[in-house]
Chain A
Amino acid sequence: MKTYTEDKKLTVVADDMMLTKDMPTTAGSKMLDGYMSLFDSEALARLKDAGYTVAAKAAVGEFAIDLLGETNFKGAPASDGHIKNQAAEMILSGDASAAVCLDVNGAVRRAAAQSGLVSVKPTYGTVSRFGTIPAACSGETVSVLACDAEDCGRILDLIAGHDDKDGTSLPAELIAKTNEAATVRKVAVLASMKKGIGADVCEKLDAAVAVLKANGVEVDEIDDSVISASRPAWNALMSAELCNNVSRYDGVKYGYRAESFTNIDELYTNSRTEAFGELLKTAIIFGSETLSTENYMKIYDKCLRVRRVISEAFGKLFETYDAVLMPATSSMSYTEAEVKENKFIAFEENYYTAPASITGLPAIVAGGVQLVGRAFSEKALLEAAKKYEKEGK
């Protein structure tokens, strides 16, 4: 169901990982409070060229690695003791027809699942990352959050395409494959990926399975424990890349600078200590350890190999199945209390989002659950999602 009126159809919001030249871009961090980019991100520029308006920026958690945005330096929306995602709230309130977001660690997908919205995380390399704040470059993807699969597809069509300014952007011929008509006929549900989910999510999963079956889709529940290794590997890779990517914020050139320092080392240390939040600092320390000479082969290189093994496991599944159905979250909402109690909950909860992040496969969240498919199959996945997307409301 559309939450917006027809006059808002060409109005979108962008999350604060997307650089905008006419609005500040903060990445949710005090470090970049008030930072003005000299250029627009490619995805937003393409939407503007198509006549769209980027009406506002939606707050994100610091460098978009948290659950829904709760680590934003200015705080994040919440209601009745439950934390919310600002991009999702803006769509629900009818401010915009869609949000363009950078899916770094699954926050966009969790927001879609818990808000009854639909999100598409397209195949890695099909939407340019030019003009996005770099966090975990090897897996993060510009994604769309909207009321339904139709709107997701509408925006995706406009932002996808080759871009010479992004060295990881795929050739146009490959990206064109996303438009090939395909139908999801066989879906696998992985037992290992159901681990830890609550009854509410289980219900969503069952509902989606029922609708798919009613529509003639074959659904099998199978075991595949390899894919569940995504989370630790992704956490290591993400933290390593994050550690490296945020090291540019040193208080020298732009962004936050500590008031008190007596030498360059103190300038670095004080600025970063004062401006960065706890979750990011933990990721930086973990990432730094991961990349150290001592641990590089033991952790980082091993995680790169795990990434290949997981991709191969998906490839094997896709010989039989068109898509894999899995949860996107462990529960349908997070309380402020549980987030406060477990500061690293985002690095546990990404158990469900890490498989698509680490492999770069497309993932559609609709009806509160996630459908992961072959590379370039987002159109087929969106069509399948249309059948059960209303189950999420």
Chain B
Amino acid sequence: MRYETVIGLEVHVELATSSKIFCSCSAHSYGAEPNSHVCPACCGMPGMLPVVNKRVVDYGMKAGMMLGCHINRTTTFDKKSYYYPDLPAAYQTTQWFAPVAVNGVVEIETSKGKKNVRIKQIHMEEDAGKLVHDIREDTTHVDFNRTSVPLIEIVSQPDLSSAEEVEAYLERLKTLLRYAKVAECEMAHGTMRCDVNLSVRPEGSNKLGVRAEMKNMNSIEAIKRAIEYETARHIDAIENGTEELRQETRRWDDIKGKSYAMRTKETAGDYRYFPDPNVMPVVIDDEWFDSIKASLPEFPEVKKERYISEYGLGEYDADQLTKSIALCECFEAAYGVCKSAKDAANWMISEVMSILNQKKMTYDMLDLDGKALGELILLVSGGTVGRANAKKILAAMFDDASIEPKAYAEANGYVVSNDTGMIEAVIKAVIAADPKSVADYKSGKEKALMALFGKCMKELKGNCDPQTLRKLLIDSIS
């Protein structure tokens, strides 16, 4: 019998606001000293009251709009109670009754073509802290830096059916949320986390199988492995009766490559949701709604079409550039300065993106001043700096954002010389030192000219217009 896997995802994304959701502590504590970004409110001490960070609602709405959701104009915050040492108030403030966004849709593309994934809802909530186990002392410490950092949880409908689709969906979420600049979505940093709800049923059946919820996957690769493992486990159980499937929460162990049922105690329980009386319902009026709507970025597909129709770029180039908003912004700024979309695209794709690849950086990590890149392109197209030297300047710009291409070229002797006397002197010396190549060229070996050309260019440290050099070289030999 053939089976199909039915998958729904719960994706937690940390919003990139500067402060936490209900207090004014900084929300950015990645790598910071434990408990250095805390106050009485986010430590669960009595007496401080939650005041909603409006930015969080802005970002929540924006995320909802990017994912095609309906925005609830009155959205409320609710308390979810449970005991765990990393949850200092013993309740998490979340959205249970009226989440900020509902009923969205995200289009994904895989090897099987395009597909819509429905979004059930997006709700805003606060993150919990972290427990740090000290094996030497056999104690556990609590770090509250992350408590009350704003999150959105994006809940999909069970519309996904393979690891490939899950990967495409997660990449799509990441692209859209990064385009809107509301989140980093980096699984390695914990700014994107994903729980997978999975069940298996005979192909064509409309009855859902027994569902397992899998937690603790820390990379897209781990998610794919977990989905494949879990699917096989379910099919094995159905076909061979190896075990009785139960609705349960399972923990993925990426090292062992297996999932384990969590103790029911860790998962069971009644969260006793109720509306937080200290947080008034947030009413989103037309003015607020419209201002967020107006701040939405161009969608990747729209941008790509515009790059093709307006800038005259080819399909491939436009596709490459719109992979990440960081690439788009750098490209557009460079184009604004150099006024040649083709040049700007060439430099982005063949130089900038390859440097990122070499450095094993994601495209989103690009932090290059597009205007400076535009100036560098102008230096090359205007004949002031040779292409090889321009690449060196670009490499330097990656390491030092303060570099101005022109000043840097001058300071480092990368400026093309127009002194033909000096060029001719170099040619003369090169010819004298390599009579064999001269003879070869004269006997019709074109390649020999390139050798001589290279030697001259090397002597000139690249600071010569190639056309000029070639002409002078041929003139000298003949």
Contacts and interface: CB of A to CB of B under 8 A. Distances in A.
A167 B50 contact: yes
A168 B52 CA distance: 11
22 contacts: A37-B40, A37-B45, A38-B45, A39-B47, A130-B47, A130-B49, A134-B46, A165-B51, A166-B51, A167-B50, A168-B49, A241-B277, A244-B79, A244-B272, A244-B274, A248-B46, A248-B90, A252-B142, A288-B272, A292-B270, A296-B272, A296-B274
A138 B43 CA distance: 22
B272 to A, nearest CB: 4
A254 B49 CA distance: 19
B316 interface: no
Contacts of A344: none
A264 interface: yes
B278 A240 contact: no
Interface in B5-22: none
A247 B90 contact: yes
Interface stretch (B81-89, B159-167, B445-453): B81-89
B179 to A, nearest CB: 32
Interface in A15-45: 19, 27, 37-39, 41
B56 to A, nearest CB: 13
Interface in A182-233: none
Given A130-B48, A167-B280, A292-B272, 9 more contacts: A27-B46, A37-B40, A129-B49, A130-B49, A133-B47, A167-B279, A248-B44, A268-B83, A296-B274
Contact of A167 (B44, B83, B272, B278): B278
Contacts of A260: none
B363 interface: no
Contact of B47 (A37, A167, A168, A240): A37
Given A137-B278, A167-B280, A296-B273, A247 B91 contact: yes
A168 B83 contact: no
A368 to B, nearest CB: 31
Interface string B275-295: 001111000000000000000
A291 interface: yes
A247 B81 contact: yes
A165 B277 CA distance: 15
A300 interface: yes
Contacts of B47: 19, 37, 39, 41, 130-134
Nearest to B77: A167
B274 A300 contact: yes
Contacts of A243: 272
Contacts, number: 93
Nearest to A130: B49
Contact of B280 (A19, A168, A240): A168
Interface of B: 40, 43-52, 79, 81, 83, 85, 88-91, 142, 270, 272-274, 277-280
A253 interface: yes
B19 to A, nearest CB: 14
Contacts of B277: 137-138, 168, 241
Contacts of A241: 277
B46 A39 contact: no
A253 B88 contact: yes
B51 A19 contact: no
A129 B278 CA distance: 10
Given A165-B51, A244-B272, A39 B90 contact: no
A179 to B, nearest CB: 24
A353 to B, nearest CB: 18
Contact of B46 (A19, A167, A240): A19
A183 B4 CA distance: 75
A247 B47 CA distance: 14
Interface string A236-274: 000011011101101011100000000010001000000
Contact of B44 (A138, A253, A268): A253
A244 B50 contact: no
Given A165-B51, A244-B79, A264 B85 contact: yes
A250 to B, nearest CB: 6
